[in-house]
A and B are shown apart, each in its own frame.
Chain A
Amino acid sequence: MGQAQSHSHFLSHWTSAVIRRIEATQGPFADAEAIRHARTASNFEHFVQRRAEQLAQQHQFDQGIRHVTMLLRVSYIALLLFAGLSGVGLAISLTPQQAGAVSVVEAIVMLIVVNGLFIVLWGIANLVGNRASSPLGWGFHHLLSKLRNPVHVNAALGLSQLIQQQRLIRPGLGTIAHSMWLTLLSAAWMTLFVRFVVADYQFSWPTTLLSEQHIQMLVATLHTVPAWFGLSAPNIEQGGSFNPQQTAWWLLTCVLLYAVAPRILCWLGCKLWLRQRVGTLTINPTLPGYSELLPAFEQRQVRVVDPAPAELHMQASSQRKSQPSTQAVNSTVALVYYLDWPEDDYANFRHAWQQQPTAVHCELVNSGAQRQHALNILTQGPNRPLLVVVNARLSPERGSLRFIQSLTKQGASSRQLHIALVNARPETGSQRTEMWREYLTQHVPTPLHIESFQVVDNNWVATVTELNAHWS
């Protein structure tokens, strides 16, 4: 799994975790549209993820996730900078400003022994400890607690829950910790190298407590690996003449081999561990928030694969009356949806369409079931023109607008979506037609073809003829 693919895989799970956590604690989202989008998913995991992505988009949680990602990245970069500066500081503290003697033992302890101890402690903690409780983990939770925007908080809590449930904490925090140490040690090594290049340093070996034998033993032990590379060990005997250049190279090689190299290995190990974990992330269908989606996933597989070939002109829809039917719709004829019309007016329209040369499929869209049915029809068959006849006598409102937006999301924009604002009682309420036009223009991002019509003197045929002429 490539880096980008792995990242997108992780993001999908993160989004699903955010939505699941909210649904499990606060209740479900209105997901009819999201489920419609998720219908094409081949398995439950993809179904959950697609649904979650739709809902996240709808409720701006995707922005929350992006925000938290950015926040974590900035924090990580700040940590690396801090580590780099610490490394530089450490190296400077080991090398006196005025040309003097560098304590080799101090350098070995500070750069190799301390680092080695922390690696060992980390290894023990991973092998023995039940929970990963580190300053980094604490810092992560502290950072999340500072978030105030509910969308960001939900995104952060979703991440927290995901990494706990999928056991990503250890590889994740391990990667961060090792990269910090690696930065620190690399910065220290680079600083030592530069200072050794530009200044003339002497090296001293004695310490207050350690005897010469102890130091010789330490050097002999450390020299095991550098010896493989043909490096000669420094002479530390009293009065022995030793070359500072040779000692400097020996010290730099030891730091590289005993501090930097193990950290690189640990970092790479954690990175691979993390990638492996991310690669095997799964949706647990038994978790609350996911388990409730199983029925919806099973239902989505029921669909018409072979539409009835019957003529789906007016007669077909007139038999259906206003109730949505489960039968499939001819996928070639144009669609005309009547939004929020009384049944009598709808019957007049249907009758008027029968007298038109164009064959269309009419649907009355008033109730929730009718809306659902109308959206389902759009998923069947290839692109074809769609005309939505809005009852412009009524006040524009969010519910109707949402339905029109759903049509555009369902791909109706490519179906040449036309909106006809029809006022069947032009003597009053003409200003509402203009309201509708403004409302649609403002709230539907897709450019729409909007036309206004009036039913004058109850002449429905004339209106439909005019409507058909404009539409054609």
Chain B
Amino acid sequence: MDSIKLAIVGHTNVGKTSLLRTLLRDATFGQVSDQPSTTRDVSVARVEWQSSVVEWYDTPGLEDGVGLYEYLQHLAQRQQLRHDGPKLLQQFLASPEADASYAQEAKVIRQLLQCDAGLYVIDTRDPVLAKFQDELAILSMAARPLLPILNFSSSPESQQSAWQQALANVNLHAWVAFDSVTPEAQGEALIYANLATLLPTRRALLSAWQQEIQQRRTQRQHAASQIIAELIVDCSALRLHTTTQDADALNQQVNDLQQLVRQREQHATNSLFKLYGFSVDSVDINALQLSQGRWQHDLFNPHSLKSFGIQTSKVAAGGAAVGAGIDVMMLGTTLGGATLLGATLGGAWQSWRSYGQRVKDKLRGYRELSVETSVLKLLVARCQQLTRHLDSRAHANQSPSTLTVDTAELADFEPFFEHARGFPGWSSIASAEQFQRFQPSVATTRSRLASRQNDDPERQHLVDKLAQRLTLQRIESK
């Protein structure tokens, strides 16, 4: 099995584990905090694909480069090893200080000596000090290719040029500016490209690994689009029937509908977090008003719609809350438009069969509760933004970030909403029990219909098309 071992090394509290989290797309790897010495053990992350392996070693921070460099000089003098760096480091590892004063540094050096190359992480906000130069001098004794990673390079405090000069002074001319919190799109590719230059014997492996990363990313994007498309179809198709005339009872039923939609959205949100390797409870995105993995602005709150620039289409009848449409008119605009469009876009027979059922219900005096288009747009907008954010967001990011919202393209999704609206059975949201509350007589039938129609090829076709559109929109917006 072809393999490569890479060690992440550097001063304490410069973001080594954060970088690894971002590269691995795993927000749970290691421990990240603002405190120094957060990582005290050497941890390995092993990524296998086909017949190749990439092993990442996260090491503790170097904390006393000055002292260790002096000690190594002393050791070199005593052992007469001035020009044999690796041997000197081996001597150090066998020395009593490797288990005492410099035990943490010994872990780093031991691991670097066992790896093919090291990524030396630099917090470019720090000035170039003697202690960092001593660290570089120590690490270069390992005779392993060292690729400096200029972290926090996008910070206004970054002293990147000073660091570049300092690196050049010790003959480290290849470096990558990679902000582990807000990484650039090509930053990761640059790391592997530089590593391939430093490790010519591993070039093929690194190239294959890059392709694998790209492939995994594309797959994740498609999977995210499928999750969103399923959510939209479920919510668009959701129609609950009621015969009640009492305003309070109607309001209660509207609230129940809203709750079902909220739950479905949270389920989809959690699925997206999981897909992108984020721990659900730990994601805070201020720009999206997402805290601990939950949306802070309610889906049916007018403020949420307004914050995304979405206009509500109409005020719900009967004093119902925003976002829940109550179709009280026989063949009203909601029903008529939806059905006609659905028939146009999808299979005519199924559309008209559903239409017939709904006409029958109308004639029997049922009223329908459904999710308004504005809310469906908001769902698309929020999920698309979240996906974009998760796709580009560093796994180490623990601070809020800002995202822009483009709502103009949301209108493109309306035909999909309308199509799905024509098929209440396509929605998997309402369970048999929930139907029972609204419509005891048809509950079982509806439930059966729902489960049967969720496997409907027509539905799957719509989900696939919607997913494609969602992916395309994300790519175009980039």
Contacts and interface: CB of A to CB of B under 8 A. Distances in A.
A306 interface: no
A394 B126 contact: yes
Interface stretch (B94-102, B325-333, B413-421, B449-457): B94-102
Contacts of B236: none
A26 B95 contact: yes
B458 interface: no
A292 B99 CA distance: 22
Contacts of A397: 11-13, 36-37, 61, 63-64
A448 B125 CA distance: 29
Interface in B14-51: 34-37
Interface stretch (B128-136, B213-221, B386-394, B437-445): B128-136
Contact of B94 (A27, A342, A366): A27
Interface in A193-211: none
B356 interface: no
Nearest to B133: A367
B65 interface: yes
Given A27-B79, A397-B64, A431 B34 contact: yes
Interface string B60-73: 01011111011100
Interface stretch (A28-36, A175-183, A312-320): A28-36
Task: Give the most central of A23, A340, A368: most B CB within 10 Å.
Answer: A368
Contacts of A368: 66-67, 69-70, 130, 134
A180 to B, nearest CB: 37
A80 B348 CA distance: 106
Contacts of B66: 367-368, 371, 399
Nearest to B34: A431
B67 A402 contact: yes
Nearest to B126: A394
Interface in B409-435: none
A441 interface: no
A399 B64 contact: yes
A428 interface: yes
A396 B11 CA distance: 11
Contact of A28 (B36, B37, B78): B78
Given A398-B104, A425-B157, A26 B94 contact: yes
A435 B95 CA distance: 32
Nearest to A150: B99
Given A399-B64, A425-B157, A30 B131 contact: no
Nearest to A32: B70
A59 interface: yes
A340 B36 contact: no
Contacts of A367: 66, 130-131, 134
Given A59-B96, A340-B129, A435-B35, A398 B63 contact: yes
Contacts of A393: 126
A22 interface: yes
A395 interface: yes
Interface in A285-336: 292
B127 interface: yes
B96 A398 contact: no
B175 interface: no
Interface in A86-141: none
A29 B35 CA distance: 29
A183 B458 CA distance: 103
A402 B74 CA distance: 18
Given A425-B157, A431-B34, A435-B36, A30 B70 contact: yes
A52 to B, nearest CB: 13
B12 A395 contact: yes
Interface string A405-421: 00000000000000000
Contacts of A59: 96, 100
A78 B122 CA distance: 60
Interface string B126-159: 1111110010000000000000000000000100
Given A340-B129, A366-B129, A366-B130, A399 B67 contact: yes
Contacts of B174: none
Contacts of A345: 127
Contacts of B129: 340, 342, 366
Interface string A378-409: 00000000000000011111110010000000
B108 to A, nearest CB: 13
A27 B98 CA distance: 10
A26 B125 CA distance: 39
Contacts of B11: 395, 397
Contacts of B157: 425, 428
B75 interface: yes
B163 interface: no
A390 to B, nearest CB: 13
A341 B126 CA distance: 10
B273 interface: no
Nearest to A394: B126
B95 A396 contact: no
A395 B37 CA distance: 10
A433 to B, nearest CB: 12
Contacts of B100: 29, 58-59
B91 interface: yes
Given A397-B13, A435-B36, 6 more contacts: A26-B96, A30-B102, A58-B100, A342-B128, A397-B36, A397-B61
Considering the complex of A and B, which 7 residue pairs feature the smallest CB-CB distances, nearest first?
A27-B95, A399-B64, A395-B13, A367-B130, A398-B63, A342-B127, A397-B63
29 contacts: A26-B95, A27-B95, A27-B97, A28-B74, A29-B95, A30-B71, A30-B74, A30-B101, A32-B70, A59-B96, A150-B99, A367-B130, A367-B134, A368-B69, A368-B70, A368-B134, A370-B130, A371-B66, A395-B11, A396-B36, A397-B11, A398-B37, A398-B104, A399-B63, A399-B65, A399-B67, A402-B101, A431-B34, A439-B36
